[in-house]
Structure 1
Amino acid sequence: MEIITATKAHLHQLVPLFDGYRVFYKQPSSIERAETFLSERFQQNDSVLYMAVSDEGDAMGFTQLYPSFSSVSTQRTYILNDLFVSEAHRKKGVGEALMVRAKEFAIVQGAKGVTLETGIDNPAQKLYERLGWKRDTEVFHYTWEI
């Protein structure tokens, strides 16, 4: 397995994964919507995408990081917004490899760190904690949606 920085050239491999990610979160499947969204990210250069590729060249999973800033610490930080491993490749260390790569990226960038949000019933929490991620118990997160 290799973790690569995905580019627009990898769009054909990423789109089915991204669509699967959205379906996992109970959104209707839409290859067109997935392709449009990812194309915009590459065009606007507003996220960093890593993709796990098998030795045979199959796309196994991806993670997407968005830059942000911490005003309090006056440092850049990253939001690990998306992490997905195709069902056929789960329990093989793909998610772990993607998360390790995200942490390495943040270190090289001199960032404060990486933040993620997950469902309270997501079994991947065990992985996050094993990799040294800490559950925030000091603040609440609120969302306002249109």
Structure 2
Amino acid sequence: MSDHVIRLLAPREVMGARPALVDLLVDAVEGGASVNFVWPMTREKAEKWWDGALSGALSGERLIFVAEREGVIDGTVQLIMAPQENQPHRADLGKMLVHRRARRRGLGGALLQAAEDHARRIGRSLLTLDTETDGDGERLYARMGWVKFGEVPGYALRADVTVPEGASFFYKRL
């Protein structure tokens, strides 16, 4: 395990974290991560996406967790609150990103555990997510006790735009 600290960004911190989060998203996509973007991944695309996500964090619609080491953000994951009136017990997990320089050190699992623990504390008892079929994420979620409930073949293009990959859908009751 690494010497990273996993923490929830406070609303007053989210805008200050923007440059590092933009860098993280660019690195993830350039490294082939299937997180809704394709090559070439530009800072402009990442900035536009994070502007929306950070706005959601400021309004309480999403919570952003980061993995930091010596003040450098090497990973992130989000809890996105279900907006439906009849689903106050549910949230989606989104944008699990770990910088290539920090992979294979347990950050994904640590970020996931922090998000799950916080979801429990705020009364969210059901989490859902989707991830690329047969990818590292799918193995992580299965290892952490998530239940795969479906798969859609050819769901989204790979970051390198070579071929559509399947998506696997998971849930976890807390």
Question: What TM-score do the two structures reach when normalised by structure 1?
Answer: 0.81
Q: Determine whether 1:4 maps to 2:18.
A: no
Change (3 A) 1:65 1:32: same
SS state of the match for residue 8, structure 1?
Answer: coil
What's the Cα RMSD here? 2.5
Matched, 1:18 2:25: yes
Choose which of 66, 72, 75 in structure 2 pairs with 1:61. 75
The aligned residue for residue 96 of structure 1 is: 109
Q: Which has the higher contact order (CA 8 A, sep 6+)?
A: 2
**Partner in structure 1 of residue 45 of structure 2:** 33
Does 41-50 or 102-111 show the bigger shift? 41-50
8 Å CA contact 1:65, 1:82 repeated in 2 = no
Counterparts of 2:16 and 2:136 in 1: how far apart (Å)?
32
Deviation, structure 1 residue 31: 0.7
- Cα distance change of structure 1 residues 71 and 134 upon mapping to structure 2, 3 Å threshold: farther
Structure having the higher helix fraction is 1
Distance 2:136 2:49 in 1: 27
CA distance in 2, matches of 1:106, 1:40: 22
Q: Is the 8 A contact 2:27 2:100 kept in 1?
A: no
Residue 36 of structure 1, CA deviation? 2.3
Q: Structure 1, residues 89-124: CA drift from partner, whole Å, max 9, x if none?
A: 111011011000110111011112211111112123
Amino acid at match of 2:118: F
Residues 6, 110 of structure 2: 8 Å contact kept: yes
Work out the number of aligned pairs and report it.
Answer: 139
Contact (CA 8 Å) 2:7, 2:114: kept in 1 or not?
no
Residue ranges of structure 2 left out of the alignment (5+ in a row) = 156-174
What are the ranges of 5 or more consecutive residues in structure 1 without an aligned counterpart? none
Report the secondary structure of 1:110's partner residue: coil
For the pair 1:87 / 2:105, whether they are aligned, the reply is no
Alpha-carbon distance in 2 for matches of 1:113, 1:101: 15
Percent identical pairs in the alignment equals 24
Is the contact made by 1:69 and 1:76 (CA closer than 8 Å) also made in structure 2? no
